[in-house]
Amino acid sequence: MVIFKALRKLITILKSPVYTPYAYLILYLNGVKVRKGLRVRGFMNVHITRRGKVFIGENFNVNSGNKYNVIGRQQKTTLWAEGNLTIGNHVGMSSTAIICNHSISIGNHVTIGGNTVIYDTDFHSLDPILRTSGEDRQHAKKKPVIIKDNVFIGAHTTILKGVTIGNNAIIGACSVISKDIPDNEIWAGNPAHFIKSIEELK
């Protein structure tokens, strides 16, 4: 048992120096502008289309996939964009999927829990006739997502199109965010609803 644990630790140590340089490379090849301080554990999934524009600020910290997201659902962290995706400074995420068809903006000092997904599109038309046609995706509704500074997002949360999450907000685990959340409030649930203000925690 001791030998097994030692070998497991050794393999992790040997693999770790590869992840961040690989992330820099794959981000560069996708045309992503990244500032200093990137730190990645695991391999990311990055796909930026010719129309996509992505900027990532300083000290972006990512856990991605198997062994680096121990809370479960160990998917790779995914950045997919054909719109404008901006990630601020000192942002951390774990096995998160960000799908940007239009516009997603994430502020500074934002923490995004494991298996969170952020979508700025419905992906499909809500019209049943269009949904069965070849024009389905062209008619999907898209609206910007804005996540302001110092937001904490609990694990397994889904953030839908058109929402703004205010400064210092806290989102409980497994929430579905379908409408705006004001500054300094705690929300949770499906659909998410107001729980209490940050001031009540003091």
Question: What's residue 18's pLDDT?
Answer: 86
Q: Contact, 80 vs 98, CB < 8 A?
A: yes
Enumerate the domain spans of the chain: 2-190
Q: What is the pLDDT of residue 132?
A: 77
Enumerate residues 6+ apart whose C-beta is below 8 A from 152: 110, 111, 113, 169, 170, 171
pLDDT of the residue at 3 = 75
pLDDT at 125: 74
- Helix, strand, or coil (residue 121): strand
Give domain 2-190's CATH architecture: 3 Solenoid (2.160)
Beta bridge partners of 41: 63
Where helices occur in the chain by DSSP H, the ranges are: 2-29, 128-131
CA 94/CA 96 separation, integer angstroms: 5
Say how many residues make up the chain. Answer: 202
**CA distances to 42, 69, 183 from 168, in Å:** 28, 24, 6
**Consecutive 10-residue averages of pLDDT for the chain (202 residues):** 67 71 95 95 94 97 78 81 97 96 97 95 78 74 95 97 98 97 97 93 73
By the 8 A CB rule, do 54 and 32 touch?
A: yes
pLDDT of residue 14: 55
Which tens digit of pLDDT belongs to each residue from 134-163? 777 777 788 999 999 999 999 999 999 999
Structure tokens that stand for 40 in this block: 């990645």
Catalytic sites, residue numbers: 124
pLDDT for res 177? 98
